[in-house]
A and B are shown apart, each in its own frame.
Chain A
Amino acid sequence: MLLYQFRMAFLSLKRNPFLSALLIGGVALGIAVSVSFLNIHQLLAQNPIPEISDRLFYVQIDAWSPNSAFDSDNPEEPPDQLTYRDARGLMESDIPTYKSAMFKSLMTLHPEREDVRPFRVMTRLCFADFFPMFDIPFRWGSGWSRSADAGPDRVVVLSYETNVRLFGDVDTVGRSVRVEEDDYRVVGVMEPWEPSPKFYDVLNGAFQGAEGMFMPFDFTEPLEINTSGNTSGWGFTTGVGFRELRLESEYTWIQMWVQLDDADQRDRYLTFLNAYTEGQKALGRMERPFNNRLRNVEEWLDVREVVPAHATTMAILSVLFLVVCAFNLIGILLGKFLARAPEVGVRRALGASRRSVFAQHLVECQTIGLLGCFLGLLLSLVLLRGIDRLFGSEGSTLSLEMVAVGFLLAVAAAFVAGVYPAWRICRIPPATHLKLQ
């Protein structure tokens, strides 16, 4: 029966190709636009590390000025980064499974080859735990050991791209690379790894790529490495030396992540944070009320409002666009169906039930919906390319989930748009139309 109805539907669509193209094209356009923008929104809002995101916590303590809040628009928010000395203090705790303070800085690399000029690469200074905590995949070698942190040993981890630029597509574990003035040993080369959003550092461009090199945090002091990320400060800092300005000041410029596997561990760590703050208060710092925060990845991305507002706006507008397309569909279907009233009158007179006429027309709507959906999904692939080009991003792919959403939207739109016209046509009294024949 269904097959028969589909065949009837195709016949009906073939009868007026222009109108059918208009109907299918309308659905396709609505699906393409809404699926594309929903897809972009989803890409921006996705959880970049779903398996462990609820066990990774961003650490914040309020060491800001006693006189004013860090963010005057959100006075309850503690500063978004830590001071160097607080990061040092918090790294003392053994409670977290993994923990790493971190920041990023530009470093100069000197390739071995004479014909390649030195270049600068964004480098993350972090602890050994950074790699296991974020589950970072390695192509060759691994991260450095905790004992290398303490040295600090002259070791680095390279991104795949940096490795290619320096040496080519070869295993370079154990080889040496000159960073600034010294030689370092490569202990690992990562697989291409681009979490998006870049959850571990949303403060300096949430959609920037990952760093090209990683080295032990404790080189910060001996090499006087300055951050390339944001620094926020309050009050007046005297002195000009690196030590006074960076290490001993109230400037906040260090980020810190910890992994806490269960509620108990989390409670113990919070107790530790509060005790640490208490200790600092005793030293005359941190005059603001207790305001320590542990936020997991999703909470942190939420607080930082990582998804650009315009992406949300476009998603809303694109769904409304589909609604308008559906309205259009109702109007045209209504006309198309009612124009067929005499024919339906004959069928009804020959014994077709209301129910079967209704079903027949709904199936026709669904046929239009499905064809439109198929065409729309193809169109959205093109649209995504175009949008990528406009924004200078790349590789926005249509997720399987969005294909499903597109399918559901098409079926729903075709159903909603089809019900009224189909109902109208099945209510045709057979007699009036027979008279006209």
Chain B
Amino acid sequence: MHNKVRFWLIALEVALTLAIIVNCVGMVLDLRAELLRPTGFDEENLLFVRTEPFGTQYEDETFRNTRQDQDLARLRSMPGAVDAVALSSVPLSGGGSGTSREAEGSDISTTVPYFVVTEGALGAIGTRLVAGRDFIAIDFEVEANEEGFIPRRNIIVSKKLAEKMFPNGDALGKTIGDGAGNVEDTIVGIVDPLQNFWLSSPVGETTMLQPGRPGDRSSMLYLVRTEAGSRSAVASGLEEVLLAEQNERIVTIQPLPEVKDGFYRDNRALVQILLWVTVLMVLVTSLGIVGLTSFSVTERTRQIGTRRALGATKGDILRYFLLENWLITGCGLALGALLAVALNYTLLQAAGAAKLDFRLLIAGMFLLWGTGVVAALAPALRATAVSPEIATRTV
């Protein structure tokens, strides 16, 4: 090797690049996976309608319940609407309630995010029932006791929650309660998948559905499922329809895709930035390789001429420069693999990162090796064009 320093410069550059891009792409894959998780909601056809009353009459529970029933009937009758239910929070919004629950026969408490829903929720959401049954009318006819709470309810849970609380797979028919015996809910159905309103995994997927009357005097939320393609048409008429029913309230409408966009905005932004950084890194490094190979060719022009004059073929010259390139990137990649592990460890400690996937590391090595060859090719081909007579010229 002609110039040791130059050799190690490229090798180090390749090494650093490998370390960085493998970590970047690892994070991208992690973020993408989170983004692409199925939500269980019929996303394209769902609208969330929040009504926030300002009249005092909403303090009366009977008035509220009648209002809710009438609103739901009106929403269902809108052209283009398939179904409508009331529920307690908007999924993928970041805001909602969780409650502490223990599985029957266990004393490990788990935070369980939940939706309170009215009848017909599974159909309106669009998720799949994988075991048990949907809610039926009787599930909603539960009464609060004299202390003001409902001690026994039939509930539906997501498969992820069922598996978390009953790892043996026998969740159906079992109860989960508050641990003190005040509340014990029986699992009558299991759906899969069903995300809730929290981003982090796995708690964002361990969801409980409670039959009941969601909403209070300050806010009520409806979920409207529309026929395919008529989401915006239904949305445009909604406010007017509800205000015509009762106008002492503020109506806001949000399609689920919009909610989801907001929810994953940072996630998407980060994916783009990381991909840009990766592309730029590879670009900068390949420019570096082009530059250095070029100089190495220029510097050795006479030497190449001499070798050609002594009978080396163009192929020999090409092979010589490519081999040199492989050797350099090879050393760089070996070093880079170690660096990638070290950087991953540092990032995991100091901030956030995805755990290093070794398949990704291998893929990154192939990518950079290929990039190295492509980058070295043009200068190396230039070297083959050096004519043998050059060796004799300046002597």
A146 CB–B CB distance under 8 Å = no
B179 (CB) vs chain A CBs: closest residue: A236
A334 to B288, CA, bound (A): 12
CB-based contact B6/A334 at 8 Å = yes
B312 CB–A CB distance under 8 Å = no
B117 CB–A CB distance under 8 Å = no
CB-based contact A391/B265 at 8 Å = yes
Residues of B within 8 A of A238 (CB): 147-149, 182
Contact with A along B139-161 (1 / 0, CB 8 A): 00000100111000000000000
Determine, out of A262-270, A315-323, A368-376, A399-407, the stretch whose residues face the partner at the interface.
Answer: A315-323
A312 to B343, CA, bound (A): 13
Residues of A within 8 A of B210 (CB): none
With A26-B287, A238-B149, A391-B266 known to touch, is A313 a contact of B9 (CB < 8 Å)? Answer: no
CB-based contact A317/B295 at 8 Å = no
Interface size on A, residues (CB 8 A): 56
A167 CB–B CB distance under 8 Å = no
Could you list 14 A-B pairs, sorted by A, with CB under 8 Å? Answer: A120-B52, A180-B54, A181-B54, A226-B218, A239-B148, A312-B352, A321-B281, A325-B284, A327-B13, A328-B285, A328-B288, A335-B299, A338-B299, A390-B273
- Determine how close the nearest CB of chain B comes to the CB of A42; give it in whole angstroms: 15
B368 CB–A CB distance under 8 Å = no
A10 CB–B CB distance under 8 Å = no
A240 in complex: contacting residue of B12, B144, B269, CB < 8 Å: B144
B56 in complex: contacting residue of A181, A239, A240, CB < 8 Å: A181
- Determine how close the nearest CB of chain B comes to the CB of A132; give it in whole angstroms: 31
B78 CB–A CB distance under 8 Å = no
A9 to B359, CA, bound (A): 47
- Determine how close the nearest CB of chain B comes to the CB of A391; give it in whole angstroms: 5
- The secondary-structure label for the interface of chain A is helix
Residues of A within 8 A of B9 (CB): 327, 330-331, 334
Residues of B within 8 A of A244 (CB): 148
Residues of B within 8 A of A275 (CB): none
With A310-B270, A313-B352, A330-B9 known to touch, is A240 a contact of B148 (CB < 8 Å)? Answer: yes
CB-based contact B288/A313 at 8 Å = no
A14 to B13, CA, bound (A): 27
Given A313-B350, A321-B277, A335-B292, output 4 extra A-B contacts at Cβ < 8 Å: A236-B178, A316-B347, A317-B277, A332-B288
Contact with B along A304-347 (1 / 0, CB 8 A): 00001111111011101101110110111011101100000000
A109 (CB) vs chain B CBs: closest residue: B54
A117 in complex: contacting residue of B10, B250, B268, B284, CB < 8 Å: B250
B98 (CB) vs chain A CBs: closest residue: A232
CB-based contact A328/B287 at 8 Å = yes
Residues of B within 8 A of A339 (CB): 295, 298-299
CB-based contact B24/A436 at 8 Å = no
With A316-B347, A339-B299 known to touch, is A420 a contact of B5 (CB < 8 Å)? Answer: yes
B353 (CB) vs chain A CBs: closest residue: A313
- Determine how close the nearest CB of chain B comes to the CB of A227; give it in whole angstroms: 11
Determine, out of B15-23, B38-46, B68-76, the stretch whose residues face the partner at the interface.
Answer: B15-23
- Determine how close the nearest CB of chain B comes to the CB of A319; give it in whole angstroms: 11
Contact with B along A78-119 (1 / 0, CB 8 A): 000000000000000000000000000010101000000111
With A312-B351, A392-B265 known to touch, is A331 a contact of B250 (CB < 8 Å)? Answer: no
B254 CB–A CB distance under 8 Å = no
Residues of B within 8 A of A120 (CB): 52, 250
With A313-B353, A387-B269 known to touch, is A236 a contact of B180 (CB < 8 Å)? Answer: yes
- Determine how close the nearest CB of chain A comes to the CB of B382; give it in whole angstroms: 14
With A33-B280, A324-B285, A391-B269 known to touch, is A331 a contact of B292 (CB < 8 Å)? Answer: yes
CB-based contact B352/A310 at 8 Å = yes
Residues of A within 8 A of B5 (CB): 334, 420, 424
A308 to B352, CA, bound (A): 9
A110 in complex: contacting residue of B54, B56, B100, CB < 8 Å: B54
A331 to B352, CA, bound (A): 32
With A238-B148, A309-B352, A334-B6 known to touch, is A323 a contact of B291 (CB < 8 Å)? Answer: no
A309 to B271, CA, bound (A): 14
Residues of A within 8 A of B17 (CB): 324
A324 to B250, CA, bound (A): 55
A317 to B19, CA, bound (A): 10
A189 CB–B CB distance under 8 Å = no
Residues of B within 8 A of A193 (CB): none
A29 CB–B CB distance under 8 Å = yes
A234 CB–B CB distance under 8 Å = yes
* Contact residues of A between 368 and 423, Cβ < 8 Å to B: 387, 390-392, 420
A159 to B286, CA, bound (A): 53
CB-based contact A310/B266 at 8 Å = yes
- Determine how close the nearest CB of chain A comes to the CB of B212; give it in whole angstroms: 13
B56 (CB) vs chain A CBs: closest residue: A181
CB-based contact B250/A321 at 8 Å = no
* Contact residues of B between 145 and 197, Cβ < 8 Å to A: 147-149, 178, 180, 182-183
List the 7 closest pairs (A to B, CB-CB), nearest first. A335-B295, A309-B352, A312-B351, A240-B148, A390-B269, A328-B288, A327-B13
A150 CB–B CB distance under 8 Å = no
A217 to B57, CA, bound (A): 25
Residues of A within 8 A of B394 (CB): 436
A136 CB–B CB distance under 8 Å = no
- Determine how close the nearest CB of chain A comes to the CB of B170; give it in whole angstroms: 26
A188 to B5, CA, bound (A): 69
A105 (CB) vs chain B CBs: closest residue: B218
- Determine how close the nearest CB of chain B comes to the CB of A1; give it in whole angstroms: 29
A33 in complex: contacting residue of B19, B180, B277, CB < 8 Å: B277
CB-based contact B16/A324 at 8 Å = yes
A309 to B349, CA, bound (A): 10
- Determine how close the nearest CB of chain A comes to the CB of B185; give it in whole angstroms: 14
A327 to B18, CA, bound (A): 14
* Contact residues of B between 319 and 359, Cβ < 8 Å to A: 343, 346-347, 350-353
Residues of B within 8 A of A352 (CB): none
- Determine how close the nearest CB of chain A comes to the CB of B370; give it in whole angstroms: 18
CB-based contact A118/B54 at 8 Å = yes
A387 to B274, CA, bound (A): 12
CB-based contact B291/A328 at 8 Å = yes
A23 to B242, CA, bound (A): 64
B209 CB–A CB distance under 8 Å = no
- Determine how close the nearest CB of chain B comes to the CB of A28; give it in whole angstroms: 11
- Determine how close the nearest CB of chain A comes to the CB of B354; give it in whole angstroms: 10
A431 CB–B CB distance under 8 Å = no
CB-based contact B294/A324 at 8 Å = no
A436 to B395, CA, bound (A): 8
CB-based contact B148/A390 at 8 Å = no
